[in-house]
Copies of this chain bind each other. A is one copy, B any other.
Amino acid sequence: MAPQKTRVTKPDGRQLWFYAWDRPLPQVEADSRAHKLESEGLELRWHPLLEEWVIVAPERQGRTFLPPARFCPLCPTRDAKHPTEVPARDYEIAVFENRFPSLRRDAPAPAKAKAPYASTRALGAAEVTLYTSQHNATLAELPREHIACLVDVWADRYRELAARKEIAYVLVFENRGKEIGVTLTHPHGQIYAFPFVPPQAKRELDAAARYQRERGTCLHCDIVSAETRDGARVVAQNEGFAAFVPYYARFPYEVHIVSKRHRPSLLELTRAERANLALVLKTLLQKYDRLWKRPLPYIMVMHQRPTDGRRYPGCHFHIEFTPPHRSPDKLKYLAGCETGADTYIIDAKAEETARRLRAVAPRT
């Protein structure tokens, strides 16, 4: 069922979208939080050694850092004296433009850089996706119907952002846990819309295009069929999707969720496939959270077709989860070899961590 949707412009000019399925759209309260949105110094600087853009966002220095639950800016505004980012008494799912954006619609023109340097505007979008109004919920515990609604919201945001001509790539992601540096605990994810295809996405797309050209098949289709045929690294699967610790995992509990059919983005998924994606997401997250009996920190990143209008043969929708832990009390650090050489060392075998995740029974 398609959601109802309404857009609100906040007093500082930022936009917020409410999505509603079961309940009427929320009554919007007057938003008294008229922040002045700063963008002093926001720019993209070119890294000539690595040939990639670096986002310089000085205003993010002052961003909200682990506030107590009663001052959570992502909860609904339950008391007019404590207005939050969400000017309503409740909501099902909401999305709003980040108060401390790394990329924005109205990014300023930067000071011109002298050769051999270059700078440009940090055009794009930085949005926050509120998964639920319940401050202490986790994605794993939300009903699968609610997760399916979230999939619809991700697809809707992808579609809307893709239509903006300055946007080349939409990155849907989630950082979870203080180990990842998360500054707000309310269940939420983020969406960055870039004016360029980010380096890692570009490398993956180039590799997939090369594979397709050389072998005539899709790399990801071949991987998902090899993984499900082998089975040793599969964590969960259904008709639409497989979740597995890939043979080439760079993190011990890394899991990729890959569409079994060749779909470049969320937009090409059928209704049944979206429901299957929600289900496999819920299963994986339950396994993650029950593995060591506490919410497992992770980074979740969706890989979809760039939105710059070019052709990307071999582009195949998938989600990559990279939890930073290698054991309940030890993190896998990105040190000299990873940060300085981009070569990852992993001390766990994918077959073994997959076995452990498979053994965790999800709550049904």
**A residues lining the B interface (CB < 8 Å):** 41, 45-61, 65, 102, 113-117, 171, 173-175, 180-182, 190, 192, 194, 198-201, 203-204, 207-208, 211, 219, 222-223, 226, 230, 247-250, 299-301, 320, 322, 326, 330-337, 339-349
Q: 4 more A-B contacts (CB under 8 A) besides A48-B219, A57-B345, A201-B341?
A: A47-B250, A61-B348, A192-B341, A198-B341
Q: Which 7 A-B pairs have the closest CB atoms?
A: A181-B333, A301-B340, A173-B336, A198-B341, A200-B342, A47-B248, A60-B347
- Known contacts A200-B342, A337-B173; decide if A56 and B116 are in contact (CB<8 Å): no
Q: Which residue on B lies nearest to A210, using beta carbons?
A: B51
- Across the interface, A54 reaches (CB within 8 A) one of B58, B207, B249, namely B249
Q: Which residue on B lies nearest to A60, using beta carbons?
A: B347
- Known contacts A116-B222, A226-B115, A336-B300; decide if A207 and B348 are in contact (CB<8 Å): no
User: CA of A8 to CA of B102 in the docked complex: distance in angstroms?
Assistant: 54
- Across the interface, A60 reaches (CB within 8 A) one of B301, B322, B345, namely B345
Q: Which residue on B lies nearest to A200, using beta carbons?
A: B342
Residues of B near A182 (CB, < 8 A) are 335
Q: Which residue on B lies nearest to A172, using beta carbons?
A: B336
Residues of B near A208 (CB, < 8 A) are 49
- Known contacts A200-B341, A248-B54, A341-B199; decide if A349 and B49 are in contact (CB<8 Å): no
Chain B nearest CB from A355 CB (Å) reads: 14
Q: Are A336 and B114 in contact (CB under 8 A)?
A: no
Q: Which residue on B lies nearest to A102, using beta carbons?
A: B345
- Known contacts A50-B200, A61-B348, A341-B199; decide if A335 and B180 are in contact (CB<8 Å): yes
- Across the interface, A336 reaches (CB within 8 A) one of B222, B301, B326, B335, namely B301
30 sample A-B contacts, Cβ–Cβ < 8 Å, listed by A number: A47-B250, A49-B208, A49-B248, A50-B200, A50-B203, A54-B250, A55-B345, A56-B346, A58-B348, A114-B226, A116-B211, A116-B219, A117-B248, A171-B336, A171-B337, A173-B337, A175-B335, A194-B343, A199-B341, A199-B342, A200-B343, A299-B335, A299-B336, A301-B339, A301-B340, A301-B341, A320-B340, A322-B339, A322-B340, A334-B334
Residues of B near A50 (CB, < 8 A) are 200, 203-204, 207
User: CA of A49 to CA of B247 in the docked complex: distance in angstroms?
Assistant: 11
Residues of B near A230 (CB, < 8 A) are 114
Chain B nearest CB from A74 CB (Å) reads: 17
